[in-house]
Structure 1
Amino acid sequence: MLSTSLGDHAELRALEPWQAAELAAFTDRVRAHLTPWLPWAHTVVDTESARQFLQRYAESQAVDGGRIYGIWLDDVLVGGTLFRVFNPQQGACELGAWLAPEAQGRGLVTRAASAMIDWAVSVRGISRVEWLVSPDNEASIAVAKRLGMTREGVLRSVFPMDGVRHDLEVWALLADEWAGSE
């Protein structure tokens, strides 16, 4: 099993279909915290729906597309990251993350996202990493800033969730900016 240490007893590792029960339990426990931001928090409601969600990412990863990872703290799933979009042919990806309230304030998402950016840029040759975020999600915007991303603008009324259309801010980082920040 491949994993990356995030320090302080935390790990970033693949989140796979066989872990569906763990993702379902996590989502159920923190659903109220996740649902304002993440559409899948509305649809992952049991082990089977979690398995279907994770299977879609497993199939996407198998064809060199999007992929999903979990963040474990003391061997308990407390969050995750994903490449919602991963397109090496175009040299672009979209990175996202989530974290349980009790795990916030430790830098876990920033460290996990940094590891993912390092891999995408250094190993896979990705030129552009995007971070799409609700203008109301201050914690996520703070992560984008810590990663050295630039706010490029707002996609107005682009994201439908719960019958309401939401704006999304676009933050991005170019490979030469990432290499220059080290």
Structure 2
Amino acid sequence: MREHLDPQASPAESGAEKSHPLQLPQFSLRKAVRPLIAKPAPVLEVAEGLALRSLEPDDEHLLYDLVERNRSHLESWLSWIEQIKTLRDCRRFVDKTRYNDIFSGRWVYGVWYEDALVGLLDFNEGDRTLNQISIGYWLDEAHQGRGIVTRCVVKALDYVFSSEEIARILIKCATTNKKSQAIPERLGFTFEGVDKDAGTVQGKLVDMATYSMLYREWMEHQAKRASNTQP
């Protein structure tokens, strides 16, 4: 379930990282304010039959059908769903999210499962000074319970941590949305606390749980996973 996702210092400011066995990159302010480059989010192959790909203009009908199938389900969690009521609304959404810098706009991925659009995953609320972004997601109700979102989030984090100079990623979920909270908890994110009345759903204020992952933490988690899968 996708929900829009407070800043902390970059992990690279710790002197201990210079001798870290993973040879972590040193994030600097100069790198953080590099010129904006608008570009489509690259295609990410997650697994056989599962991929993350940007939405194209021809996908607006698929997006409309997906939202309509899940409207009653999504309205419980997503305030922006009220803005998607017509095919024209879907067209505007696709146009606004196609070519963005990962910090200045929103990188929106379609979740494609067996060539069908079954959800969205996006990066938003970018902070170029802190090299920090938030990630959100939602999935077609009929496709939940198959590990699709978890695998997509892992692939997306692998990419942005290694290719986009990201130092910290946040996930924010309504405290009542246990399925969304299960993703960061499963992946080893740090629970940072609850922000009271920090989100709105159906015109009502809701409390938001915040989770974070630092670059160095993600590399350590991935190294442990790799060692656990070795024969």
TM normalised by structure 2 equals 0.73
Are positions 1:57 and 2:76 aligned together? no
Measured after TM superposition, the shift of residue 8 of structure 1 is 4.7
Larger of the two Rg values belongs to structure? 2
Which one scores higher on RCO, CA 8 angstroms, separation ≥ 6? 2
Match of 1:39 among 74, 79, 97: 79
Aligned to 1:169: 209
Over aligned residue pairs, what C-alpha RMSD do you find? 1.9
> Does 2:153 correspond to 1:113?
yes
**CA displacement 1:105-160 (0-9 Å, x = unmatched):** 11111111111111111111111100000111111111111221111011101112
Instruction: Tell me by how many angstroms 1:62 deviates.
Output: 8.0
Inter-partner Cα distance in structure 2 for 1:26 and 1:120: 26
Structure with the higher fraction of residues in strand conformation = 1
CA distance in 1, matches of 2:48, 2:153: 16
5+ residue gaps, structure 1, are none
1:50: how far off?
Answer: 1.0
Instruction: Supply the AA of the counterpart residue of 2:75.
Output: T
**How high is the sequence identity, in percent, across the aligned residues?**
29
Counterpart of 2:143 (choices 103, 107, 113) is 103
Partner residue, 2:122: 82
Q: Does 1:5 align with 2:5?
A: no
- Verify the 8 A CA contact 2:102 2:126 in the aligned structure 1: no
Q: Structure 2 vs 1, CA of residues 68 and 91 (structure 1 numbering), >3 Å: closer, same or farther?
A: same
What is the alpha-carbon distance in structure 2 between the residues aligned to residue 89 and residue 4 of structure 1? Answer: 26
- Between stretches 1-10 and 37-46, larger displacement belongs to 1-10
CA distance in 2, matches of 1:101, 1:161: 19
Amino acid at match of 1:160: T
Aligned counterparts of 2:187 and 2:161: Cα–Cα separation in 1: 13
Number of corresponding residues: 182
